Structure 1
Amino acid sequence: MEPMAQVAIDTRWDGIAGIQRYSREVLPRLTTPWQSLGLDGDHLAPLDALRAVPRDRLLYSPGYNAFVRAKRQLVTLHDLIQLQTPWPGRAKYLAYYRLVVRPVVRRTGVVLTVSETSKALIDEWLDDDAVRVVNAGIGCSDAFRADVEPAPGDPYLMYVGNLRAHKNVEVVLDALGRVPDARLRMLLPAREHEQAELMAAERGISARVELLAGIDDAALARHYRGAAATVMPSTLEGFGLPALESVMTGTPVLFWRGCAAVAETVGDRGLAVENATDVEEWAGAIRSALASPRRVDPPASGYDWDATARTIDATLGELR
């Protein structure tokens, strides 16, 4: 049997974006002795939360999946976006967070997150002074630098993300229809390309939309660097990593002012749109970005995967 001090980590969060990227960057940097929890199957399946897990060890998940039977589990809640999804889909998330996540977090007494925006929302949601919410922050790959070679091509805008409702992508596609010389490159999961092609065709802009998938950080950095601006029209975000990656390459971001997490990241390194769904306002922002391209200074500090890992190590150490 492993010693009780050993931390068991759910390593099933693995990929190139979002929480998957977070896990990929953080886990190799941890100095806390740990081993994989060794689970297979879909970590987001409805019954996964009921699985038998070791009770003699502290568990850690780089994402929001929690286990009802865990004696203590440190969870990373990147955001609470799922609690704001439309009905009836929201019902399952409300049940999961109330019956699984909140009890696990309260039992452990501490939870991790990635931004001050998310920290404030989680504090309000927990409504429990006995639970400490720790902003471990987030990092940015060294590939995203202002001196990278820009990708070639006519002036274009960059979008990185997916087509979920809170990403609010349709307003940018609609705005593109009103700016005849505007071009858009979209990095999307390959499974969403067919839907994106249909959305572009419906608006008559297929010839001006280029879809990307499966590129590495170095290639993505070049696409950011070559863009006149990155568009991030999200109405909800826990952090907004594409916004950070973009400004790190010196490329400004067009975003909705009301998305607090993105505004926190971008600051004055972009252009804030006042109305999330105003197509003409977005079209105006796009025209402005293309007519007067500018470079922005990347943040001097504060986004370091090593620092994030150190904060997680320290929190795990307090719990062991």
Structure 2
Amino acid sequence: MPQIAIDTRWDGIAGIQRYSREVLPRLKTPWVPLGLDGDHLAPADALRPVPTDRLIYSPGYNAFVRAPRELLTMHDLIQLQTPWPGRAKYLAYYRLVVRPVVRRTGAVLTVSETSKALVEEWLGDASVRVVNAGIGCSDAFRADVPPAPANDPYLMYVGNLRAHKNVAVVVDAVARVPEARLRMLLPAREHEEAQRMAMARGIAPRVELLAGIDDDELARQYRGAAATVMPSTLEGFGLPALESVMTGTPVLFWSGCAAVAETVGDRGTALESATDVDEWATAIRLALESPRRVKAPAAGYDWDATAARIDEVLGELAPSGR
């Protein structure tokens, strides 16, 4: 019987859900589903009974108070940066649930060197090994894909409308550049809010909202864009930035977002301010007037390699499960 149970409730097309969908089928370590239903992010979920004779692995940060050992994947600490008073519940959860579980287990996974440093600082416990398992990129994202059709040059945004994504600065900047068009891949539930944002600035005809497209189509959308905009103030990694540069499309980003800067390097434009609309408008105008292609990273972003690193840690924590 496998000695590892995995919480398989992280399932979807973006973020941690995407990570889970890519990693779990690639694991070589024998495992079984944890078998829980319900909302894995509900506060009471942390109190649910779980097996005590197995190591639990979660592709995300959801921890169980009763788990003797649980290997978590802490992609970032963004929740601890949310505005007050909303931050209070996250501070309590991370202090009373996540930190004790991580310390009992003696190891935790993350996805970038930026997040690794932040998690180590937050833990404040040198006995816990923080492992950067990295992240991968689908083979669909490559420079030779055909670009999506477009009558005019456009910018690409992929993500959501949460506060740390800082989308408003891009929408405001697009309003100042009459020739700018913006395509936004957002969860369908956020389309109405995005439409309101565009209408309030008088740019609704220049904003196209996308949802539910597969990797092949997303790669074409990146490839057809003059640039991808990623104005985030906080990220654990920033997968859209990687996907964009893998197709040869540069990224406009805030220089203070260390994880995105780590991923993009010189394959884009680092803006000095996260909130200066004029600076973003200037960068957008230049990207549209003088489009360029960038060279994809040579190596280092491979889902098989990420799964192999996770397998290694799982094997160390539960050697009888190998």
TM-score (norm. length: structure 2): 0.98
Letter paired with 2:271: V
CA distance in 2, matches of 1:256, 1:129: 31
Letter paired with 1:317: G
Q: Describe the superposition over 1:222-252 as per-residue Cα deviations: whole angstroms up to 9, x where unpaired.
A: 0000000000000000000000000000000
- Match for residue 223 of structure 1? 221
Q: Which runs of 4+ in 1 moved over 4 A?
A: none
Please point out which of 104, 109, 123 is paired with 1:107.
104
Q: Describe the superposition over 1:196-224 as per-residue Cα deviations: whole angstroms up to 9, x where unpaired.
A: 00000000000000000000000000000
Letter paired with 1:84: Q
- Match for residue 276 of structure 1? 274
Whether the aligned pair in 1 keeps the contact of 2:3 and 2:53 (CA below 8 Å) is no
- Match for residue 89 of structure 1? 86
Q: Describe the superposition over 1:160-211 as per-residue Cα deviations: whole angstroms up to 9, x where unpaired.
A: 0000000000000000011000000000000000000000000000000000
Alpha-carbon deviation of 1:280?
0.1
TM-score (norm. length: structure 1): 0.99
Q: Give the number of equivalent residue pairs.
A: 317
1:52 is paired with a residue whose SS is: coil
- Match for residue 151 of structure 1? 148
Please point out which of 213, 233, 242 is paired with 2:231.
233
CA distance in 2, matches of 1:274, 1:148: 32
| Matching of residues 1-320 of structure 1 within 5 Å | 3=1, 5-153=2-150, 154-320=152-318
CA distance in 2, matches of 1:110, 1:57: 15
Letter paired with 2:5: A
CA distance in 2, matches of 1:87, 1:220: 35
What is the alpha-carbon root mean square deviation over aligned residues? 0.5
CA distance in 1, matches of 2:37, 2:120: 32
Whether the aligned pair in 1 keeps the contact of 2:235 and 2:257 (CA below 8 Å) is yes
Structure 2: 5+ residue stretches without partners? none
2:43 is paired with a residue whose SS is: coil
Alpha-carbon deviation of 1:16?
0.3
Structure 1: 5+ residue stretches without partners? none
Alpha-carbon deviation of 1:6?
1.9
CA distance in 1, matches of 2:229, 2:11: 26
Letter paired with 1:62: P
CA distance in 2, matches of 1:128, 1:156: 47
CA distance in 1, matches of 2:301, 2:286: 29
Letter paired with 2:11: D
Q: Describe the superposition over 1:114-139 as per-residue Cα deviations: whole angstroms up to 9, x where unpaired.
A: 00000000000000011010000000
Letter paired with 1:203: R
CA distance in 2, matches of 1:101, 1:225: 39
CA distance in 1, matches of 2:181, 2:310: 41
Letter paired with 2:34: L
CA distance in 1, matches of 2:118, 2:100: 17
Q: Describe the superposition over 1:78-109 as per-residue Cα deviations: whole angstroms up to 9, x where unpaired.
A: 00000000011100000000000000000000
Identity across matched positions, percent: 83
